[in-house]
Amino acid sequence: MQILPVKRALISVTHKDGLAKLARFLDEKGVEIVSTGGTARLLQEQGIAVTRVSDVTGFPEILGGRVKTLHPHIHAGILADKDDPDHSGTMKELGINFFDLVCVNLYDFARAVADDADAREAVEKIDIGGPALLRASAKNFHSVCVLPDPGFYDPFMEMVQKKDGVDLAFRQETAAYTFEMTSSYDQMISRYLRKK
């Protein structure tokens, strides 16, 4: 798929820079926004319509937020290949909707370590769901656009405004950035645990 129309987005971010502008843009374009916890609250406070992840999964966020997006109704929506009729058939059969955009950034592990958190506190800042969402959407860049950093928000909005969608080259660029970012994140955690 060369130009990907954006009709449904998953947004779950730690760093909120530029988020309200992006979400308002998506809302004005009629994009359904699915979101989690603090991100959903922030968007609702901005008057932006949000569907909570728990409404999509039919399951509450549990374990203090450790488990919220790790669910087939989320990951199938991200990983399904829109060009594969078998995937489309399975999605229809199971009543799962596709995602077109995944906007996620990660818990700030570096800050937790810089603040000299003890090991128990620091591990709570090791993001599990975020990297899973990022890697899934980056893998499936032919069918999904991933926005792993606020620096991509303006170019994304400009492209959607001009082309009514996101082109393949941009999706591949953000996918490559995503894998570099998640790799660096894992290396930072590994270094911390080895020092401890």
Mean predicted confidence (pLDDT) in 82-87 = 95
Q: What is the pTM of this model?
A: 0.91
Given a contact cutoff of 8 angstroms between Cβ atoms, the answer to whether 138 and 178 are in contact is yes
Tokens read off for 60 = 């509450």
CATH number for position 99: 3.40.50.1380
Beta strands across the sheet bearing 145-147: 51-52, 32-35, 8-12, 101-104, 145-147
Domain of 86?
3-195
**Residue 99 DSSP class:** P
Span 159-183, pLDDT tens digits: 999 999 999 999 999 999 999 999 9
pLDDT of residue 65 exceeding 80, the answer is: no
Any idea which residue has 């966020």 for tokens? 61
pLDDT at 10: 98
pLDDT of residue 124 exceeding 90, the answer is: no
How many domains, the chain? 1
Nearby residues of 117 by Cβ (< 8 Å), 6 or more positions away: 125
Mean predicted confidence (pLDDT) in 97-126 = 79
Mean predicted confidence (pLDDT) in 8-36 = 94
Q: In this predicted model, which residue has the larger pLDDT, 2 or 61?
A: 2
Q: How many CA atoms lie within 13 A of 155 on its CB side?
A: 14
